[in-house]
Amino acid sequence: MHDELLQQISAARDAAYGTLGRLEPDVLTFLLNPAFTGGPRWPALRQAWRVIHRPGGTLLASDGLSDPFDDQEEPSRGFGIECLLETDEPLPSVSASWPFQALVEVCQTAAGHGSLRELLADMKLLSVELSGEGMPASLVTADGCVGVLLGMATSTLPSLLQTPGGDVQLVTVKTLLAEELEYVRKHGAKGRTELARRFVDSGQEHLSRAHRPPVI
């Protein structure tokens, strides 16, 4: 039953991702699953990401956070989310790129938390701090962190996808410049809301860029 549902959910996810652009057939993953070396466990253990080519940019999407839990008999949608990060900056090697590094860390944070969907339902917009190691200098604060906004609304991506296990929330990941993260640290929820408004007004919406002027 679990394997059948897993295949059905995977097919539904592929079909939905295929509507967003040209979906590469191969997934990005690790030779050794991080769950075997102390990392968070994803619902069906598998951890993967997809590459979707869109006009003018690249969309990276997690593939597995909404798999059904393999330790439960009843059908499920896993954590009920998948995370998306889109950039219009060139990515000669996606797997070695900073956007992929940021998305992977966000996904691992989400898997470790386990209830990100419920938290987003309550707070609407979240900010998370990631490691700045190996990231572009424009994104890294003086104390070595990179900030992202989670759940920013966008006019160019759907907010949900439907699967046999239930609807899955597509959570956008928007990287912040160092000064924008400091703004969030200072102003909290109001700062997140104001940044999101300015990103929309400037035409950037959810796009992640390391090379742009700050909106504050």
Can you give the residue ranges of every domain in the chain?
Answer: 2-201
CA distance 142 to 77: 39
Chain centroid offset of residue 214 CA: 21
Task: Note the pLDDT of residue 2.
Answer: 81
pLDDT beyond 70 at 45: yes
The β-bridge partners of 161 are 168
Nearest residue to 83 via CA among 117, 123, 132, 43: 117
- In this prediction the pTM is 0.97
Q: Residues 150-167: what's their mean pLDDT?
A: 95
